[in-house]
Amino acid sequence: MSQTLQAVRGMNDILPDEAEIWETFEDIVRDWLKSYGYRPLRTPIVEPTPLFRRAIGEFTDIVEKEMYSFEDALNGEKLTLRPEGTAGCARAAIQHNLVASGGPQRLYYHGPVFRHERPQKGRYRQFHQIGAEALGFAGPDIDAELVIMCARLWERLGLADIRLELNSLGSAAERASHRAALVSYFEKHRERLDEDSLRRLRANPLRILDTKNPAMRELVEAAPKLADHLGDESRAHFEAVQGLLREAGIPFRVNHRLVRGLDYYNRTVIEWVTGRLGAQGTVCAGGRYDGLVEQLGGKPMPAAGFAMGVERVLALWRESGETEYTGSWTPDIYVAYLGERAQRLAFHAAETMRDTGLDVLLHCGGGSFKSQMKKADHSGAPLALVIGDDEAAAGEVSIKPLRGGGQRRVPLAALADAVVDMLYGEDAEDNDEDGGQGVSNGGI
Ligand code: ATP
Ligand code: MG
């Protein structure tokens, strides 16, 4: 016998019970993004490798060791599975001239991203990000709005214990002056640098501050602070963001070591961090990236955004007990039938009920009434529609409650109304509040 195949390590199947929770979450997130004026942008999962090298930066964890890159077997083009979403959004905005032709754009994306990391809880090789990108906005107002909208989402999801960390990375010139100070500081302590940091010392010393090596903590803690190199404009921008957040009642901590693992950021950078998920505690991160579009060959364009790790947000949502009303689809009614005439009626009846908005499971695979009723019971449906020869001959159907109550027999034309009555009571249709969508299961 051949060996059974498994999913690629670090890449997960999301099974139906779990995927239903994802869909509920995605519905909430779509509504939330829409309420802030963000519009969807869907870009390819594969992009030319140089896009990420240029956007994210050569001396970053992602580009140095985490990208799934390969050559197109047919034409040798160098391609990469996207390790994040911002570069693709910026590329698409430039390619289609989105901002020049339509003014500033609020965009969002949602989908899988790929990084070759060591798989562990909260860290996968295929994971999912939802990101918002505001292109063409220069002021601190959009930075604040991006933060405020996240705070509102956490509230909407009932997530507790997410704290906000902020920093300002200043402008390119300010970072250059800070960088000079950093290089001379780390040069002085060369013997305490690990291999990664030694390599980054010349190329990108700011990255050293982003180290995850606990042995270097003290050294990094005492390093020169970027805050001491910020000019008036950067300082004012950062102050304004903080002012708007205070106004909105959103607590935050300024963390001078927050530099983010990607090169494209400047000025405001943010991370939302929780202590409830163990080591992988950052659920959402982002900031301003005014230089990115120009770096990719577009006209200079200020921009800011964030990306959240869907797996981590969902883990927190589950942990907070707020997902208990979601998942596990059950039909409103299970349709059982016996015989050829009854089959025609059953298919017809099922579609009639679906037209009214009901969720209908039509029995497939034949078998006796007894075995069909067992399946009906197993489906969790509160009702079964039963169509035998008798009913078929009369053009009628029987509705049988599976959790107690009397059976009813009605003509096909009266079926949908009768089912709604039996599910929700006589007044159901008058009190229907979901905007004429017909019947819903309730819940969120
Ligand atoms: P980390 O420091 O945890 O490696 P990062 O700085 O590399 O995160 P970003 O590039 O900012 O992460 O990505 C945004 C979000 O995506 C993170 O805050 C996190 O929630 C999530 N994320 C990043 N890498 C992974 C991964 N390998 N598996 C699952 N989620 C991830
Ligand atoms: Mg990372």
How far away, in angstroms, is 115 Cα from ligand 2 center?
8
**Residue 376: pLDDT over 70:** yes
- Is 129:310 a contact under the CB 8 Å cutoff? yes
Quickly state the pLDDT bin for 362 (edges 50, 70, 90).
very high
CB 334 within 8 A of CB 166: no
* pLDDT tens-place string over residues 281-325: 999 999 999 999 999 999 999 999 999 999 999 999 998 887 765
| 260 CA closest ligand 1 atom index | 6
Closest atom of ligand 1 relative to the 83 alpha carbon: 10
285: Cβ below 6 Å to ligand 1?
yes
Q: Is 372 touching ligand 1 by the criterion CB < 6 Å? A: no
Q: How far is the CA of 99 from the centre of ligand 2 (A)?
A: 30
Residue partners of 296: CB distance under 8 A and separation at least 6 = 51, 54, 55, 87, 90, 91, 94
Rounded to whole angstroms, how far apart are CA atoms 251 and 245?
7
How many other C-beta atoms are found inside a 10 Å radius of the C-beta of residue 242? 19
Domains and CATH numbers, the chain: 16-170+230-320 (3.30.930.10), 333-430 (3.40.50.800)
Closest CA to ligand 1's atom 15: 309
Rounded to the nearest whole angstrom, what is the distance from the C-alpha of residue 393 to the centroid of ligand 2? 66
The distance from CA 311 to its chain's CA centroid, rounded to whole angstroms, is 8
With a 6 Å cutoff on the Cβ, whether 66 touches ligand 1 is no
Q: What is the pLDDT of residue 131?
A: 98
For residue 427, what pLDDT band results from cuts at 50, 70 and 90?
Answer: low
Rg (CA), the chain: 28
Q: Which atom of ligand 1 is nearest to the CA of 313?
A: 20
**CB neighbours of residue 239 within 10 Å:** 12
The mean pLDDT value for 168-182 works out to 90
Contact yes or no for 378/327 (Cβ under 8 A): no
Atom from ligand 1 closest to the CA of residue 271: 18
Q: Collapse the DSSP code of 388 into the 3-class scheme (helix H, G, I; strand E, B; otherwise coil) and give the result.
A: coil
Predicted local confidence at residue 442, as pLDDT:
38
pLDDT, residue 443, reads 36
The pLDDT value recorded for residue 310 is: 98
* CB proximity list for 135: less than 8 A, separation 6 or greater: 89, 90, 93, 98, 99, 104, 105, 107, 293, 301, 303
Amino acid at 298: G
**Least reliable range by pLDDT among 14-23, 117-126, 421-430, 431-440:** 431-440
Ligand closest to 260 (CA) is 1
Whether 307 is in the pocket of ligand 1, judged by its Cβ within 6 Å, is yes
Pocket test for ligand 1, best of 312, 316, 317 (most atoms within 8 A of CB): 312
d(CA 234, CA 169): 9
Contact present, 164 and 151 (Cβ < 8 Å): yes
Residue 268 Cα to ligand 2 midpoint, Å, equals: 19
Ligand located closest to 261 CA: 1
Span from the CA of 261 to the centroid of ligand 2 (angstroms)? 7
Instruction: For a ligand 1 pocket test, name from 67, 84, 127 the mutation site with the most ligand atoms within 8 angstroms of its C-beta.
Output: 127
Q: What is the pTM of this model?
A: 0.87
CB 360 within 8 A of CB 333: yes
- Ligand 1 centroid distance, CA of 309 (Å): 6
Q: How many helices (H) and strands (E) in the chain?
A: 16, 16
Q: pLDDT grade, residue 207 (50/70/90)?
A: confident
Token pair of 238, please? 């950062």
C-alpha distances out from residue 174 to 166, 266, 291, Å: 18, 10, 14
- Torsion angle of C-alpha atoms 400, 401, 405, 408, degrees rounded to 10: -30
pLDDT confidence tier of residue 433, bands split at 50, 70 and 90: very low
pLDDT the model gives residue 263: 74
Name 335's bridge partners.
Answer: 362, 385
The pair of three-digit structure tokens given for residue 26, joined into one six-digit string: 């995605």
Mutation pick for ligand 1 pocket among 282, 283, 310, 313 (CB with most ligand atoms within 8 Å): 282
Distance 31 CA to ligand 1 centre (A): 24
Say yes or no to pLDDT of 230 above 80.
yes
Question: Quick one: tokens of 376?
Answer: 């009906």
